[in-house]
């Protein structure tokens, strides 16, 4: 079945990419390796074809990503012929920040929020593309497509620039920046339909396979390497699982699933009754936690 | 995970093929959040964890006595929940088996015009809510007027809370009749009225037993059947966003078909300009196309070697697009800082960003009554009709014909805020017929004879800071050296050229605009112009600077603190302003924006007038304005 709404979403995203690239000095694509980033990158290539997208990829690494994500990241950048910048917050590297000793909130804030701010400033990027969607979370429903950040990288929900028609305002002063979300109007299901239709490569972790997991507070955590401290008597079990979202492996819950193809994932999606961020530990820390993180500069 | 029965139902619902973007307007009191929450809930797409959160929140809020409070699904931000209000425009998504929907939810009270216009600018249909107990109110008419202004063609009126009037047919029909009559009068002709109760779900997604007398569609049924805008009517218009040059042999124009359809082999005219070319290829990553229709993002190659840039429009040669630099437009003001006629703004139209000034509005539109009111400026949430002028010719179409080429946003030059939104009514042709007269004896010729370069020395500062005194000393010294000078002074100019202007912000902008133009003419005449004006706003000083060539403008900040000048008060003006006898007095009840990077800053608490004048003269020597002295 031809899905006309996917054509419309695709054209809208391409339009956004072109406007943003044409109106900024130093754009960058925040590449987080997940399925949304894969779609984002695919749309960026379409927007500028036959040229390469006129910006590099930036991965704000935490050193705690799934190993398969890193392999996929490096292969993708190589295959696309695009420059990849990997930023690891040097203070976190030095202090050995990790989710076990420092808690998920501190871990995420220091590696990702502060790390992104460092990378934006170090490379003097004035515009960053991200894969966030408005359907993900309540505070994102009010986010603009072109979201202005002040020189302190903060998002001010009460003073957002009005956004009319397709006339985006990408203008910034010194130190200020714009976050651009070409997937604003996509839903999780749209992303999967599009991956299926366009045959977009994604990290194999999205597909079901036998993986070593432990169950903690009802969440299945994959033991991706030997840095994960196990409780006395805790033994990783091999179970057939997959991931709906990807992040730091100790903070990402797996779901039991037999879906090994994109159509099977879509069938499962239609039947599923939990939202995708459910498996993310960071969102549950405190009520309104995403809103607070966004104000502080999180993507 | 295996498919259960509700999951199978959901599977059927997901075979949507197209999309409708719509807007909801009404206040929280009309039950708007509840209605949207119910649409989301009834379309069975709420994830179970969102539902569990809703149940917990409903219990905690206690607003619905233990029942689900759908409004809590929609009021997202912590700041909103705490204050019980809805901020700004929120976008929600749901789907049925026929269609996918994007809902723009706009609050009904605070900054309603700004938010509604923003939401409506990308909507194809609108749902207006009202409370059956109160009927058509001023607010309802306001919403309808804004929808008509933005060109929304399909409108549903949800006569909500019908349960609270006993599902009365006569109440529904009376309200529907009133609204239809009003809507027809303002040009909304496709109106569907639906009796609803969002709290109980009547006629939202399923027909209600309580309204057996109603034979029309449910709200969801209406949303599923609305026809979005006509697909590809009208002549071809392709908006160029990005020049695509991956290698020397390839030059393409990446952009979007905003009207009509573009075919390979079509003759197109590049606007602005008068060049024609033939469409050679329509390139996409999925392969070349024979044609591209409205809304498609592609890359076009032309057979002929022509120069095309971002912002240009490729238009069907047989029906080319018009270009102009001046328009009558409807303006909606969005910024806290009021619109001042004559101030230099930027406009983004299509893919062009150009300079823009607005004339004094012809009238302001009262959205509550529809009346035309006089206006000199424009405040946030106000709407006006005004002539606007661009500094560059652009391709356009009237907003009613093609909103993609007839809409623009107004940008503040200093803070980069999105300050206003505009819709083009028609072009003004006058400016196109007035051509700049070129002359043989020019500025360089005069400068060579005078023995000095022309320039503007612009003295700015508070009243009483010493501007006129210093300017007068500078002029005397220059005159003694045989230089050609002229001193423009605030008080003197207001006796003649600007005697029609007062001291409001708008008049101050116009005052400086005229002086800037006069100073620029005098620079052309080869003079050293000494301009002594309070000129409190950075933007207008920047305007005056922009009217002459780089290096011909010397901004002098005659700097003295307010306490100091107020104590000095040579003309007794501060005392009068403090007594309330002078309104809009700079420093007292009107702001002064000090220069950020003036060429010269003179601290008149530390310098004598003579020392200050000597600093200015030294600067003119250093920068080469004065030769041979």
Tell me the pLDDT tens digit for each residue of B181-196: 999 999 898 999 999 9
Give the Cα separation of B31 and B129 in Å (integer). Answer: 8
CA distance B485 to B454: 9
State how far the Cα of B70 lies from the Cα of B92, in Å rounded to an integer. Answer: 13
Return d(Cα B394, Cα B251) in angstroms, integer.
Answer: 23
**Residue B587, H or E segment:** none
Predicted confidence band of residue B281 (pLDDT cuts 50, 70, 90): very high
pLDDT of residue B353: 95
Q: Are B155 and B126 in contact (CB under 8 A)?
A: yes
Could you tell me which residue, B280 or B199, shows the higher pLDDT? B280
Tokens of A57: 């990829």
Is 0.90 exceeded by the ipTM?
A: no
Q: Structure tokens of B307?
A: 């120069």
Cβ <8 Å between B11 and A138: no
Contacts of B300 (CB under 8 A, 6+ apart): B238, B252, B253, B255, B262, B279, B281, B282, B283, B292, B314
Collapsed DSSP state (helix, strand, coil) of residue A164: strand
Lowest-pLDDT range, A102-106, B69-73, B454-458? B69-73
Q: Is the pLDDT of residue B200 over 80?
A: yes
* CATH class (in words) of the domain with range B237-316: mainly beta
* Dihedral (Cα; B360, B362, B367, B369), 10-degree rounding: 130
Is B246 an interface residue toward A (CB < 8 Å)? yes
**Alpha carbon B270 to chain centroid distance?**
27
How many angstroms from the chain centroid is the CA of residue B191? 28
Give me the active site residues of B, please: 535
Token pair in block for residue B77: 């931000």
At B396 the three-state DSSP class reads strand
Between positions 58 and 117 of A, the ones with CB within 8 A of B are: none
Q: Do domains B6-225 and B237-316 have the same CATH topology?
A: no
Fold of B443-627: Rossmann fold (3.40.50)
* Tens of pLDDT, residues B314-350: 999 999 999 999 999 999 999 989 999 989 999 999 9
Of the pLDDT bands very low, low, confident and very high (cuts 50, 70, 90), residue B438 is: low
**Amino acid A298: pLDDT:** 54
Q: How do residues B586-600 score in pLDDT, each as one tens digit?
A: 888 888 999 988 999
* Edge-first strand listing for the sheet containing B125-131: B90-95, B99-105, B18-25, B125-131, B154-160, B190-195
Higher per-residue pLDDT: A139 or A192: A192
Q: How much of chain A exceeds pLDDT 90, in percent? A: 57
3-class secondary structure per residue, B64-89:
CCCCCCCHHHHCCCHHHHHHCCCCCC
Q: Please indicate whether, in this complex, the C-beta atoms of B79 and A185 are within 8 angstroms of each other.
A: no
Q: What pLDDT shows up at residue B12?
A: 41
Contact in structure between B219 and A26 (CB atoms under 8 Å): no
Calpha distance B281→A171 (Å, rounded): 33
Banded pLDDT at A234 (limits 50, 70, 90): confident
**Size of chain A, expressed as the number of residues it contains:** 299
Q: Which of B487, B479, B469, B483 is nearest to B602 (CA)?
A: B469
Provide the 3-class DSSP secondary structure of residue B420: strand
Q: What is the pLDDT of residues B102-133, one digit of tens each?
A: 988 877 665 678 888 888 999 999 999 999 99
B49–A162 CB contact, under 8 Å: no
For residue A142, the model assigns a pLDDT of: 78
- Residue B253 phi/psi, 5° resolution? -120, 110
pTM score, whole prediction: 0.78
Residue B482 has pLDDT above 70, yes or no: yes
Structure-token match 């026809």, residue found: B227
- pLDDT beyond 70 at A284: no
Average pLDDT of the residues of chain B = 85
Q: What is the torsional sign of CA B40, B45, B48, B50?
A: negative
Q: What would the mean pLDDT of B465-492 be, rounded to a whole number?
A: 88
Q: Is B113 touching A (CB cutoff 8 A)? A: no
Residues 6+ apart with CB under 8 A from B204: B35, B38, B39, B42, B196, B198, B218, B219, B220
pLDDT tens column, B51-91 = 666 667 666 665 555 566 666 666 555 555 555 555 677 88
Q: How far apart are CA B154 and CA B149, in angstroms?
A: 13
Tokens in use for A287? 């009520």
pLDDT of B61 reads 61
Pick the residue of B416, B419, B421, B423 with the most A CBs within 10 A to test the interface with A by mutation: B416
Confidence of residue B2 (pLDDT cuts 50, 70, 90): very low
Weakest-pLDDT range from A147-156, B26-35, B41-50, B149-158: B41-50
Q: What is the pLDDT of residues A16-37, one digit of tens each?
A: 999 999 999 999 999 999 999 9
Q: Are B310 and B240 in contact (CB under 8 A)?
A: yes
> What is residue B193's predicted lDDT score, i.e. its pLDDT?
96
Residue B609, CB-side half-sphere exposure with 13 Å CA sphere: 14
**Where is pLDDT greater, at B53 or A267?**
A267
H helix or E strand, kind and range, residue B328: strand B322-333
Q: A239 falls in which pLDDT band (50, 70, 90)?
A: very high
Which residue, chain included where needed, has tokens 């008068």? B274
Q: Are B155 and B192 in contact (CB under 8 A)?
A: yes
Q: What is the CATH number of domain B6-225?
A: 3.40.50.300
| pLDDT tops 50 at residue A191 | yes
Determine whether the interchain pair B78/A287 forms a contact, defined as Cβ–Cβ distance below 8 Å: yes
B91 → chain A, closest CA residue: A141
Other beta carbons within 10 angstroms of residue B215's beta carbon come to 7
A88–chain B nearest CA distance, Å = 31
Predicted local distance difference test score (pLDDT) of residue B629: 45
Contacts of residue A19, Cβ cutoff 8 Å, sequence gap at least 6: A166, A168, A170, B241, B351
Terminal-residue alpha carbon distance, chain B: 92
Cα–Cα distance for residue pair B321/B405, rounded to 1 Å: 10
Other CB atoms within a 10 A radius of the CB of residue B309 amount to 13
Q: Does A51 sit within 8 Å of B246, measured CB to CB?
A: yes
Residue scoring higher pLDDT (A191 or B111): A191
The CA distance from B616 to B485, in Å, is 14
Chain mean position to CA B459: 33
Q: Pairing between strand B267-271 and A57-61?
A: unpaired
- With bands split at pLDDT 50, 70 and 90, how would you rate the model's confidence at B4? very low
What are the domain boundaries of chain B? 6-225, 237-316, 324-433, 443-627
β-bridge partners, A211:
A239
Q: Are strands B99-105 and B18-25 parallel, antiparallel or unpaired?
A: parallel
Q: Which residues of A197-213 are buried (b: 16+ CB within 10 A; e: fewer)?
A: ebebebbebbbbeebeb
Is B1 in contact with A268 (Cβ distance < 8 A)?
yes
> Which chain B residue's Cα is nearest to A50?
B246
Q: What's the average model confidence in pLDDT over A254-261? A: 93
Identify the band that residue A283 occupies on the pLDDT scale cut at 50, 70 and 90: very low
Q: B93: closest CA among A133, A294, A245, A287? A: A133
Integer Cα distance of B522 and B529 in angstroms: 7
Provide the pLDDT for residue B84.
52
Whole-number percent of chain B with pLDDT over 90: 46
Greatest mean pLDDT among B24-28, B387-391, B578-582 lies in B387-391
Listed by number, the residues of chain A in 129-168 with a beta carbon closer than 8 Å to a beta carbon of chain B are: 134-135, 138-139, 141-142, 157-158, 160-167
Q: Using CA atoms, how far apart are residues B373 and B358, in angstroms rounded to an integer?
A: 17
A142 contacts in B (CB within 8 Å)? 76-77, 87-91
pLDDT of residue A273: 57
Report the residue from B77, B241, B411 with minimal CB separation from A142. B77
The confidence band for B214, taking pLDDT boundaries of 50, 70 and 90, is very high
Burial readout B463-491 (b: 16 or more C-beta within 10 A, e: otherwise):
bbbbbbbbbbbbbebbeeeebbbebbbbe
pLDDT over threshold 60, residue B572: yes
- Report the C-alpha gap between B530 and B203 in whole angstroms: 73
Q: Which of B305, B312, B314, B309 minimizes the C-alpha distance to B249?
A: B305
Q: Is the pLDDT of residue B614 over 80?
A: yes
Q: Tell me, yes or no, if B49 comes closer than 8 A to chain A by beta carbon.
A: yes
Q: Is A237 helix (H, G, I), strand (E, B) or coil?
A: strand
Q: What is the pLDDT of residue B364?
A: 94
Residue A11 pLDDT grade (very low, low, confident, very high; cuts 50, 70, 90) = very high
Any idea which of A126-135, B350-359, B495-504 has the lowest mean pLDDT? B495-504
- Evaluate whether the domain defined by B324-433 bears CATH number 2.40.30.10: yes
Tell me the mean pLDDT in the region B431-449: 63
More confident residue, B386 or A284: B386
Reported confidence tier of residue B10, pLDDT bands at 50, 70, 90 = very low
Q: Does residue B277 have a pLDDT over 70? A: yes
Say whether residue A286 is in contact with chain B using an 8 A CB cutoff: no
Cα-to-chain-centroid distance, residue B16: 35
Residue B90 in contact with partner chain A when CB distance is under 8 A: yes
Q: Which pLDDT score, from 0 to 100, does residue B437 have?
A: 58
Cβ of B16 within 8 Å of Cβ of A18? The answer is no
* Per-residue tokens: A126: 């004035």
Question: Is residue A183 over pLDDT 80?
Answer: yes
Which residues neighbour B15 within 8 Å (Cβ) at sequence distance 6 or greater? Answer: A1, B97
Residues of B with CB below 8 A from A255's CB?
A: 1
Compute the nearest-CA separation of A279 from chain B (Å).
11
Q: How far is A81 from chain B (nearest CA, A)?
A: 13
Confidence of residue B362 (pLDDT cuts 50, 70, 90): very high
Angle at B96 between CA B91 and CA B97, to 5 degrees: 145
Q: Give the pLDDT score at B292.
A: 94
Partner residue opposite B90 with nearest CB, options A9, A142, A256: A142
Give the burial string for A24-48 (b: 16+ CB within 10 Å, else e): beebbbbbbbbbbbbbbbbbbbbbb
Mean pLDDT of B407-415: 93
Q: Cβ contacts (< 8 Å) between B1 and chain A: which residues? A: 255-258, 268, 271-272
Which among B102, B118, B285 is the nearest to A46, CB-wise?
A: B285
- B254 → chain A, closest CA residue: A48
Instruction: Kindly tell me if the per-residue pLDDT of A153 is higher than 50.
Output: yes
Tell me: pLDDT of B16 over 90: no
Q: How confident is the model over B160-164, as a mean pLDDT?
A: 93
B376: β partners: none
Q: What is the mean pLDDT of chain A?
A: 87
Measured between alpha carbons, how far is residue A140 from residues B75, B110, B342 in Å? Answer: 12, 21, 38
Q: What's the distance, CA A114 to chain centroid?
A: 16
pLDDT band at B11 (very low <50, low <70, confident <90, very high): very low
* Cβ of residue B295 closer than 8 Å to a chain A Cβ: yes
- DSSP H/E element including A48: helix A35-48
B292, β-bridge pairs: B262
- When pLDDT is cut at 50, 70 and 90, the band that residue A56 belongs to is very high
End-to-end Cα distance, chain A: 34
* Chain A environment of B299 (Cβ under 8 Å): 49-50
Averaged pLDDT for residues A184-196: 92
| B525: pLDDT strictly greater than 90 | no
Instruction: Please answer whether residues B470 and B459 qualify as being in contact, where contact means their C-beta atoms are separated by less than 8 angstroms.
Output: yes
Q: Which residue has the higher pLDDT, B447 or B566?
A: B566
């Amino acid at each position: 079945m031809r899905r006309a709404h996917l054509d419309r979403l695709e054209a809208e995203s391409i339009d956004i990419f072109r406007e943003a690239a044409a109106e900024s000095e130093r754009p960058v694509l925040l590449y987080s390796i997940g399925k949304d980033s894969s779609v984002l990158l695919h749309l960026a290539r379409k927007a500028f074809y036959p040229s390469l997208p006129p910006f590099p990829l930036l991965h704000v690494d935490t050193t705690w990503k799934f190993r398969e994500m890193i392999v996929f990241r490096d292969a993708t950048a190589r295959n696309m012929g695009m420059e990849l910048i990997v930023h690891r917050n040097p203070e976190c590297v030095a202090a050995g920040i990790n989710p076990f000793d420092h808690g998920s909130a501190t871990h995420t804030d220091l590696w990702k929020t502060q790390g992104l701010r460092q990378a934006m400033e170090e490379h003097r990027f004035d515009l960053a593309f991200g894969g966030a969607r408005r359907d993900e979370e309540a505070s994102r429903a009010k986010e603009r497509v072109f979201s202005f950040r002040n020189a302190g990288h903060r998002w001010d929900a009460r003073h957002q620039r009005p956004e009319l028609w397709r006339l985006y305002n990408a203008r910034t002063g010194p130190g200020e920046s714009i976050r651009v979300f070409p997937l604003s109007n996509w839903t999780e299901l749209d992303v999967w339909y599009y991956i299926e239709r366009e045959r977009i490569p994604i990290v194999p972790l999205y597909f079901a396979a036998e993986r070593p997991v432990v169950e903690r507070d009802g969440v299945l955590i994959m033991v991706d390497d030997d840095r994960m401290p196990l409780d006395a008597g805790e033994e990783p079990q091999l179970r057939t699982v997959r991931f709906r979202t990807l992040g730091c492996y100790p903070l990402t819950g797996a779901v039991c699933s037999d879906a090994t193809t994109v159509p099977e994932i879509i069938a499962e999606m239609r039947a599923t009754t939990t939202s995708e961020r459910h498996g993310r530990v960071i969102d549950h820390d405190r009520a309104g936690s995403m809103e607070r993180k966004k104000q502080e500069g999180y993507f | 995970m295996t498919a259960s029965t509700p999951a199978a139902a959901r599977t059927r619902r997901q075979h949507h093929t197209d999309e409708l973007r719509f807007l909801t307007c009404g206040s929280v009191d009309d039950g708007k959040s509840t209605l949207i929450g119910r649409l989301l809930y009834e379309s069975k797409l709420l994830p179970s964890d969102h539902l569990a959160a809703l149940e917990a929140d409903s219990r905690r809020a206690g607003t619905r006595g233990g029942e689900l409070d759908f409004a809590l699904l929609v009021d997202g931000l912590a700041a909103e929940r705490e204050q019980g209000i809805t901020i700004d425009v929120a976008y929600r998504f749901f789907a049925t088996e026929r269609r996918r929907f994007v809902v723009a939810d706009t609050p009904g009270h605070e900054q309603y015009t700004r938010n509604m216009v923003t939401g409506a600018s990308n909507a194809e249909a609108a749902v207006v809510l009202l409370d059956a107990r109160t009927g058509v109110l001023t607010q309802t008419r306001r919403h309808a007027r804004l929808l008509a202004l933005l060109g929304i063609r399909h409108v549903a009126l949800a006569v909500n809370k019908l349960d609270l009037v006993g599902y009365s047919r006569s109440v529904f029909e009376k309200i529907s009749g009133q609204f239809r009559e009003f809507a027809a009068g303002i040009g909304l002709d496709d109106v569907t009225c639906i009796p609803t109760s969002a709290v109980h779900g009547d006629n939202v997604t399923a027909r209600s037993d309580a309204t057996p007398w109603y034979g029309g569609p449910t709200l969801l049924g209406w949303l599923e059947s609305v026809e979005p805008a006509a697909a590809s009517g009208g002549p071809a218009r392709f908006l160029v966003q990005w020049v695509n040059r991956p290698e020397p042999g390839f030059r393409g124009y990446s952009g979007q078909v905003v009207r009509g359809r573009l075919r390979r082999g079509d003759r197109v005219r590049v606007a602005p300009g008068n060049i024609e070319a033939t469409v050679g290829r329509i390139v996409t990553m999925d392969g070349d196309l024979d044609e591209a229709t409205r809304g498609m993002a592609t890359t076009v190659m032309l057979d002929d070697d022509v120069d095309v840039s971002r912002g240009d429009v490729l238009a069907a040669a047989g029906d080319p697009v018009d270009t102009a630099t001046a328009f009558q437009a409807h303006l909606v003001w969005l910024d806290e800082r009021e619109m001042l006629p004559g101030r230099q703004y930027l406009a983004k139209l299509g893919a062009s960003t150009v300079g823009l000034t607005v004339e004094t509005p012809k009238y302001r539109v009262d959205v509550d009554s529809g009346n035309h009111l006089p206006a000199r400026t424009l405040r946030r949430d106000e709407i006006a009709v005004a002539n606007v002028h661009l500094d560059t010719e652009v391709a356009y179409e009237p907003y009613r014909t093609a909103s993609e080429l007839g809409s623009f946003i107004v940008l503040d030059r200093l803070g980069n805020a999105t300050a206003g939104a505009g819709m083009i009514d028609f072009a003004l042709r006058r400016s196109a017929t007035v051509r700049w007269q070129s002359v043989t004896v020019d500025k360089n010729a005069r400068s060579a004879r005078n023995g000095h370069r022309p320039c503007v020395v612009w003295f700015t500062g508070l009243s009483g800071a010493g501007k006129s005194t210093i300017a007068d000393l500078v002029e005397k010294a220059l005159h003694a050296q045989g230089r050609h000078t002229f001193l423009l002074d605030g008080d003197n100019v207001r006796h003649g050229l600007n005697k029609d202007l007062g001291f409001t912000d708008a008049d101050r902008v116009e005052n400086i605009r005229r002086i800037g133009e006069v100073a620029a003419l005098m620079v052309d005449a080869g003079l050293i112009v000494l301009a002594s004006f309070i000129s409190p706003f950075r933007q207008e000083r920047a305007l005056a600077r922009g009217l002459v060539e780089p290096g011909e403008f010397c901004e002098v900040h005659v700097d003295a603190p307010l306490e100091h000048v107020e104590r000095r008060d040579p003309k007794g003006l501060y005392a009068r302003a403090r007594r309330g006898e002078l309104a809009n007095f700079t420093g007292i009840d009107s702001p002064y924006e000090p220069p950020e990077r003036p060429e010269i800053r003179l601290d008149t608490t530390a310098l004598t007038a003579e020392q200050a004048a000597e600093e200015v003269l030294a600067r003119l020597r250093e920068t080469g304005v004065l030769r041979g002295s």
